[in-house]
Amino acid sequence: MQAKYKKYILNFKRPSGTSRGVLTTKETWLLQISDGKNTGIGECGILRSLSVDDRPDYEEKLKWVCANINTGPEFLWEELKEFPSIQFGVEMAFRSLYSENKFELFPSDFTRGEASISINGLIWMGDKSFMKQQISEKIEAGFDCIKMKIGAIDFETELELLKYIRREFSSEEIELRVDANGAFSAEEALEKLKQLSEFQLHSIEQPIKQGQWEVMASLCAKTPLPIALDEELIGIFDPKGKAEMLEVINPQYLILKPSLIGGFKGTQEWIDLAEKQKIGWWVTSALESNIGLNAITQWTYTQNTRMPQGLGTGSLYTNNFESPLEVKHGQIHYNPGQKWDFNFNTCI
């Protein structure tokens, strides 16, 4: 068996703002494995400054994977504990290799085009007019769940935007989620949650920076607004550590990003622990290309969750790969009649 990898730079159609800065490009790494007859494709979707495996030896680890590809996915996954995005790429590539169709990793009603997945419409940070424009576009496109990134512009302006949505649409018509990306200080967080709760929000993601377990536990106990942990999950590799964190913080929801938490296997560990503790969850892509998004979406459908998922990022880039994934009326669909436009050897 042979393996090789390639870096691929995705270009945003327009700069996309988060509380950690504005994104114009997204680096990703594509992994191809071959047994001489079939090939498999995986994506190692690293997020610089956020992924725990944003390390100087990242490419060296990819070289090591290629040199040791014959050891198989189980051995490699265990050896890659500190490189969750590579774990995900390896899992995906082997699943692709052994599938009848290398892009149909989890055959289901979804991949047959007979079912779809409800997703949220994502509102990126920017000035008030830009964010208002995005909100209008998502509502006109048929989304009934909107996720708005907050924490980078003036908080009062963000409250005005939420008030604008609620003036037009009730919580029964539009579900609103907000994502603070850890932007609030521990001292101000509870008061801000109280102000946000006036707009009948579904939840807020990561109100304070990760690693403050006791503070987050207090917030989750007192909050008038359900809290979803996101960055808090990154870097916890051991199932015992995962269980300890959930027991201490006891959040209302988890946000699961396979590229950041160890692929399908790592995500399943979190799901099993969450369900044992009656914690809700949903799956979100982490700005992968359509290669990774395809795998995440297909796997998510098999989990039989009916909550809107965070899987609508495929249209962000000018140079994404054409795929059967289509977003229509707030749902992501798989069109089996649409062919892939992907060639590992020619992508640069």
Cite the active site residues: 149, 257
CA dist 42 and 299 (Å) reads 14
Task: For residue 10, give both structure tokens.
Answer: 């995705």
Q: How far from 326 is each of 199, 282, 294, 312, 337, CA to CA, in Å?
A: 31, 20, 11, 9, 12
Contact indicator for 332, 117 with CB cutoff of 8 Å: yes
20 DSSP 8-state letter:
T
Closest CA to 260 of 252, 270, 250, 273: 270
* Contacts of residue 334, Cβ cutoff 8 Å, sequence gap at least 6: 110, 111, 112, 113, 297, 298, 324, 325, 326
Q: Are 176 and 148 in contact (CB under 8 A)?
A: yes
Supply 345's token pair. Answer: 């050897």
CB-CB contact of 287 with 49 (8 Å)? no
| CA gap 94, 92 in Å, rounded | 6
CA distances from 289 to 46, 48, 90, 274, 322 (A): 11, 15, 16, 28, 10
The one-letter amino acid at 135: I
The type of residue at 193 is L
